[in-house]
Amino acid sequence: MMKLLLVALALPALALAADTKCNMASESLYPPKPETALPWHDINLDLPAQERWVNVTKPLAPQISDMVYQVIDLLPSYLREKVMAALDQGADKILDAFPEDFGDEIRGIANATGIDVGALIVYNIAYEIEGGCTSLVARDGQNRTFHARNLDFGLFFGWDKANETWALTEKLRPLLFNARIWKGGKVMYNATYFAGYVGLLTGMKTGGFSITVDTRYDNTFWKGLIEFFEGDTSGHFVGFTTRQVMESQATYAEALQALQSYKMVGPSYMILGGVQPNEGAIITRSMNESLHLWTLENDAHNTGFYVIETNYDNWVDPPFYDNRRGPAETCLQQIGTDNVEFDSLFNMLSAQPNLNLLTTYTTLMNVAEGRFEAYHQKCTTHPCTPW
């Protein structure tokens, strides 16, 4: 039955993968409808750690609870056994191994929502387990730099046949918001969040740099995560690392160096944007090192004006069953440097297969101008590629 389901789901993806044409709509979809804009909330880092996220998470407690237990129920059995065994020995030990005061922030969310702290721990490391995304940094003809991303999440976390949706993806949608992160009476950075998560998957420091994260799959994908829950806590979780860098570094150059220096729990792609024309990079990370650096400056792939990541190493062809890179690059070449802007990038990210049944939001960033916009995204075209 599962094999038949996978074949049925794969057919739309395979049809699109066979053709790398740009599928942007003939008429612009930007600006999107006002109701799709994510709500804004303020997170004050000057507050005690356990109080910082209460204003957002307490009203959404039922939705967060529903979502986190779905994550646990659908974990692969061998990983769930390791995680549950570690939690049985004490969640506090795991929280204390998290950097900064992130552990106390999670304790505060647990207190505010009544959700078991162990379940929230699993939620906060879930992006190490699964995630599919499109991230890009592009330069326009006036040497302005733009950073845009789709975040896709929930593959194989329960398929709703009646509605043709991924169960976990749908549970994440109500949790989305934009955050103004305050420190010392000033906004330190902006970020797009799922309520209850304290890491950083999408963020921008005005005048400094922007960061997005894409999942990377390699032969060490589970290794570091299992080692962490078996007691080796020397590795860093990607969302915690990017938040630390956002809060500790001031410039693109500093962030680029810092992101390559950490030992990680697992592999990842870290996409970085800046304020200068050549400040755009994709860092391909393994657990222990930076494997590859593709920047607007070195233009290793001769694109001319962009770097792009779709969950596969950019120096090899994506697999035939998940070629989101090809259509995206065709769209970017069609857009050209003269037309790189929020509208064209939104239209590109609203086209299949980069928009798919896993897509939850699109964020658009311009670091130099301090522009940060994020919108709910949902593929309603039938058929829609499942990933």
Co-location of 56 and 121 in the same domain: yes
106 and 206 together in one domain: no
**What is the domain-level CATH number for residue 241?**
3.60.60.10
Determine, yes or no, domain membership for 105. yes
**Torsion angle (degrees, nearest 10) of CA 94, 99, 101, 106:** -40
Q: What sign has the CA pseudo-torsion 267, 322, 301, 344?
A: negative
Same structural domain, 233 and 311: yes
Work out the angle between the directed axes of helices 117-124 and 61-73 (0-180°, nearest 10): 70
Q: Specify whether 227 is located in the same domain as 99.
A: no
Whether residue 385 is contained in a domain is answered as no
Q: Containing domain of residue 99, as a range?
A: 48-126
Which of 87, 104, 126 terminates a domain? The answer is: 126
Provide the token pair at 364: 């658009």
Q: Are residues 211 and 313 in the same domain?
A: yes
The total number of structural domains in the chain stands at 2
Output phi, psi for 297, to 5 deg.
-75, -45
User: 181 vs 43, 53, 241, CA distance in Å?
Assistant: 5, 11, 16
Residue 300: the pLDDT is 65
CA atoms of 131 and 135, how far apart (whole Å): 12
| 211 found inside a domain | yes
- Is residue 383 assigned to a domain? no
Measure the CA–CA gap between 59 and 308, rounded to whole angstroms.
37
What is the Cα–Cα distance from 104 to 50, expressed in whole angstroms? Answer: 5
* Tens place of pLDDT per residue across the chain (387 aa): 444 454 455 555 555 556 899 999 999 999 999 999 999 999 999 999 999 999 999 999 999 999 998 888 877 787 888 888 888 888 999 999 999 999 999 999 999 999 999 999 999 998 887 788 999 999 999 999 999 999 999 886 788 888 999 999 999 999 999 999 999 999 999 999 999 999 999 999 999 999 999 999 987 778 888 899 889 999 999 999 999 999 999 999 999 999 999 999 999 999 999 999 999 999 999 999 999 999 999 886 778 899 999 999 999 999 999 999 999 999 999 999 999 999 999 999 999 999 999 999 999 999 999 999 999 999 999 899 999
Question: β-pairing, 40-44 with 176-183?
Answer: parallel
Same domain as 52, residue 35: no
**Is the same domain home to 329 and 266?**
yes
CA distance 356 to 354: 6
**Whole-prediction pTM value?**
0.95
Q: Which of 187, 186, 174, 147 is nearest to 62 (CA)?
A: 174
Last residue of a domain, one of 110, 126, 142: 126
Q: Which residues pair with 309 in a beta bridge?
A: 135
The DSSP string of 272-318 is EE-SSTT-EEEEEE-SSSEEEEEETTT-TT--SSEEEESSS-TTSPP
Could you tell me which of 265, 314, 370 has the C-alpha nearest to residue 135? 314
Residues 230 and 191 in one domain: yes
- Please indicate, yes or no, if residue 103 is contained in any of the structural domains: yes
* Residue 357 domain-assigned (yes or no): yes
The single-letter DSSP state of residue 31 is S
What span, in angstroms and rounded, lies between the C-alpha atoms of 171 and 160?
Answer: 12
| H/E run at residue 252 | helix 252-259
Whether residue 336 sits in one domain with residue 225 = yes
Which pLDDT belongs to residue 237? 96
Q: In this structure, how many other beta carbons lie within 10 angstroms of the beta carbon of residue 141? A: 11
As a whole number of angstroms, the distance between CA 242 and CA 259 comes to 7
Residues 256 and 348 in one domain: yes
Assigned domain for 31 exists:
yes
Q: Which two tokens stand for residue 302?
A: 């001769």
Predicted confidence at residue 278, as pLDDT, reads 94
Last residue of a domain, one of 97, 126, 155: 126
Are 118 and 240 within one domain? no
Residue 18, H or E segment: none
Pairwise CA distance, residues 138 & 332, whole Å = 9
Catalytic option among 22, 133, 331, 379: 133
Contact, 292 vs 315, CB < 8 A?
A: yes
β-strands 40-44, 132-139 pairing: unpaired
Same domain, 114 and 174: no
User: Tokens 């003939």 belong to which residue?
Assistant: 26
- Measured CA to CA, the distance from residue 325 to residue 311 in angstroms comes to 9
Q: 133 catalytic, yes or no? A: yes
In a domain, 333, yes or no: yes
Which residue type sits at 133?
C
